[in-house]
Amino acid sequence: MAPPLPRPPVALTIAGSDPSGGAGVQADLKTFSALGAYGTSVLTALTAQSTRGVTRVHDVPVAVVRAQVETLVADVRIDVVKVGMLASRALVETVHELLSHGALGDVPVVLDPVMVSTSGSRLLAEGAVAAVRELLPRADVITPNVPEAAVLLDEPVAGSPDELADQARRLRELGARRVLAKGGHLAGDASVDIWLDGSDPLPLKAPRITTGATHGTGCTLSSAIAALRPRHPEWLPAVIEAKAWLTEALRHGEALDIGRGPGPVHHFHEHERWRAPVGG
């Protein structure tokens, strides 16, 4: 890892809330803290959610989202932005505008095109997909999983790393600058993500962790990339370090024993205080 910065990088998450703490803004802020970034947040949606699913979504009015961003950036210098759940077309368009002008116009952006939760609940209105496609060129990195890549391209779901690499190329053709197509949904002993920052896709392999603690995995990985980017001169080293950190967060997730559905990954697996047994 690179030497410490004079001050911690300031990361902003623009995303929805998860009361269970495993995904959304809550997971993003934990990830920022675990990886040495100072976290700030703007809420786009309130969800009634647990590890077992989402029962209700309330979109934050776009005027309130705008006010959150404008009030924050008038005071705090933001070094990197992670964008997550944008439930409606109006929210996508508003965030797109905010990221394209003013204080955030030149800030690096990681876009996680959240569409469906780990438990299978839809988190993006069907009419908003076109607006997300229009947002792609503003993001420095997009991190779709296998189903999300298919939706963005309006194509069948990829069934192999080669097919996923082809879809990563087509996402570049849609305007995405860099693509990390996450292959966790594909079969195989290893998890293979596809990194594309140029003409040749780069497979990034990681051990496939057998665990029930997968809630918020996508939110966490995109936030980790954002948190680590200010500490690296290029995107790929930040992606590689983020993937290695997430692998260990997955490996330790079940130790938390949170909820009765897919539990969260362990964002603080590297910290001694979290390793002691309850009451120990």
List residues with catalytic annotation.
182, 214, 216-219
Measured at the CA of 58, the angle between CA 55 and CA 62, to 5 degrees, comes to: 155
Short-list 128, 217, 235, CA closest to 177: 235
Looking at residue 129, its amino acid is: V
Residues 39 and 15 sit within 8 Å (Cβ to Cβ): no
69-72 contacts at long range (C-beta below 8 A, 24 or more positions apart): 69/14, 69/42, 69/98, 69/104, 70/98, 70/102, 72/12, 72/40, 72/42
| Pair of tokens at residue 236 | 């790929």
Torsion of CA 120, 86, 193, 151, to 10 degrees: 70
Q: How many CB atoms lie within 10 A of CB 70?
A: 14
